[in-house]
Structure formats: C-alpha cells, structure tokens
Amino acid sequence: MFVGYLPNSQMVFTAHKKLSLFLDDIRYTHNSIGFVPTMGALHDGHLALMSKALDENDFLVISIFVNPTQFNNKADLEKYPRLLEQDHKKILAHISKDQFVLYAPAVEDVYGKNATSNKYDFGSLENVMEGAQRPGHFDGVGTILEFLFKVVKPDRAYFGEKDFQQLQIIKELVKILGLDLEIVGCPIHREKSGLAMSSRNGRLSPESFEKAAHIYRTLSESKAYFQDHDIKETIDFVEQKINAIAEFELEYFTIAEEQTLLPASNKEANKKYRAFIVVHLQDVRLIDNIPLY
C-alpha cells in the first residue's frame, strides 16, 4: 500500500517486520507499550481508547486494518469505509506524533497470498449471538489479533465494550495463546442521543441517525423494567418497542449471563446479566448492549 501522501508518514508502517524491529528499539527506552487495534473509520470512541492507552503506557501502537477473514458477508467487507488519510489526521490532532506509531498494512503483509482463518475453540462464547449469526467471524478476529499481538507484543491492549462478546473472546484468546498481555475493556462511547458510536453510523441518513437513538433508549428502559420483571417479560417488552418502529428490523435481543454469555431464561441470585441487541436500519447493522445491574 502506498502511504507516502500521509503527513509524518515515517510513523506509518506498512510492513510488520519493520514495525517489529522499530518496537524492539522502543522497548529499550519505554517501560510499556499500549495497543489499540482498529479497522479504521475512527470516531471519538477510538480516540478515547487511545487516550486511555497513553494514560496507562509510555508508548502507543495503533493498527488500522480492515480484516477480510472476519467478514462473513462480502458486500459488508466491500462497503466497509477505508479512510486512512483522514484517520491519520484525526490521530495527529489528538495525540503527539512522538507518542505513537500506526501500522496500516495491505492484506498481503498480514496473510501472504492466502487470507484464511485459524480455528480456535472459544467454548460456549462462540456459539451464541454474533458467533451464531456470523459463522467464522470470531475465528477471523482471533487470527488477526494473534498476528498483531505477536508482532506488537504490547503490555496492554484496549477494546470497546460495544463488542462485548468480542471482548470476552479476546480474553479467552490470550489465555489459549498463553500471552503475557492485559486486555482492557472500555465503556461504550455514545453520541449525544445515546446511540453507540460506530464506524457504520456514517452510513445512516440524518433521519435514520436520529431514529437509531431509540435503540439505546429502549435498552435503558429495559434495564429499569428488568428490575421488577422476569427475563421473558423483558424480552417481550423490548421486542414490542423495537418492532413498533417500521424502519427497524430486529435481528436479536438476548439477555445473557455476563461471564458465559449463555442466554438466560430464569433470573438467578448473584448472577450478573447483560442485554444484547442487533437492529438493522437502512441496511446498516447496529449493535449495542447494556449491563442490567
């Protein structure tokens, strides 16, 4: 990939071998490396992850890579926004250029000629919700993160709780691989309206963007409702609210126990529950979740 047009492009690596050599030097002069892996189209949620990573580490590595193996839908992969120049400017406006490097490879630098996934056993975590709806998705996420973690060798890596299931899977991946790496989950960053920030939000029309705020509103109402209703009643409550909006298509609403992510049907004392939702609006897949405690 040609990146010469980028400002300060000396801090943009496209070859993992060069990045790896550069980071070997960084480790002599810095105590810790924080890592924020992304697929680009950066928003304030990503910038908040970067700030937290820099608060807690001496140096930051950011990756921008639209990972083909985690898309089970080719059209979604093609539509995914690629805004490298704009993303790089956003980072530079947010953090000083001597505090970070950016790794923005082409597919070949990561996968060679054959972009395929490794197979992992994430146990019960991989067969529900996103794992059930998007076959192979988490193997793709595991494959790219195994590659990136082994190149960057960070002390801590930062992920948003919007993809809460992904966050649990990544913690499991680190255990499977036996890596000495802390996975840090960060609260969902929201628009003023409450809509969870996402790189996909940019594809919504202004009317849909406004309408999408109903998703978080409904989740918040479900949290209050859940306190004195059972799981089935709470699910019915949410389904009715979401289905009442003609433009929404509900893919799933699930209440799951927070650690195992297994869908729950009865409330049990001392267990923490979280509600998960996916809604399609104007051909955009919107995902969100909320703790119910």
| Residues annotated as catalytic (active site), given as ranges | 46
Give the binding-site size for ligand PAF (rule: CB under 6 A).
10
37 vs 131, beta carbon nearer ligand PAF: 37
- Of the candidate spans 37-45, 184-192, 223-231, 275-283, the one that interacts with ligand PAF by CB under 6 A turns out to be 37-45
State how far the Cα of 280 lies from the Cα of 215, in Å rounded to an integer: 11
- Of the candidate spans 10-18, 105-113, 139-147, 233-241, the one that interacts with ligand PAF by CB under 6 A turns out to be 139-147
231 vs 284, beta carbon nearer ligand PAF: 284
State how far the Cα of 153 lies from the Cα of 115, in Å rounded to an integer: 22
Residue 289, interface with ligand PAF (CB under 6 A)? no
72 vs 265, beta carbon nearer ligand PAF: 72
144 vs 242, beta carbon nearer ligand PAF: 144
State how far the Cα of 127 lies from the Cα of 109, in Å rounded to an integer: 30
Q: How far is the CB of 37 from ligand PAF (least distance, A)?
A: 4
Residue 144, interface with ligand PAF (CB under 6 A)? yes
67 vs 222, beta carbon nearer ligand PAF: 67
Contacts of 285 (CB under 8 A, 6+ apart): 76, 200, 251, 278, 279
Q: How far is the CB of 94 from ligand PAF (least distance, A)?
A: 18
Of 53, 59, 67, 125, the one binding ligand PAF by CB under 6 A: 67
- Of the candidate spans 13-21, 87-95, 141-149, 203-211, the one that interacts with ligand PAF by CB under 6 A turns out to be 141-149
Give the H or E element holding residue 208: helix 206-211
Strand pairing category for 248-257 and 273-281 = antiparallel
Strand pairing category for 284-291 and 59-64 = unpaired
3-state helix, strand, coil in the chain (%, to 5): 45, 20, 35
What is the token pair recorded at 53? 């990573």
Q: How far is the CB of 32 from ligand PAF (least distance, A)?
A: 20
Residue 264, interface with ligand PAF (CB under 6 A)? no
State how far the Cα of 139 lies from the Cα of 145, in Å rounded to an integer: 10
Please compute Rg for the chain using Cα positions. 20
Q: If we measure between CA atoms, which residue out of 78, 130, 134 comes closest to residue 288?
A: 130
* Binding letters toward ligand PAF, positions 110-129, x by CB under 6 A: --------------------
Which residues in this chain contact ligand PAF in the complex, by CB under 6 A? Answer: 37-39, 67, 70, 141, 144-145, 163, 166
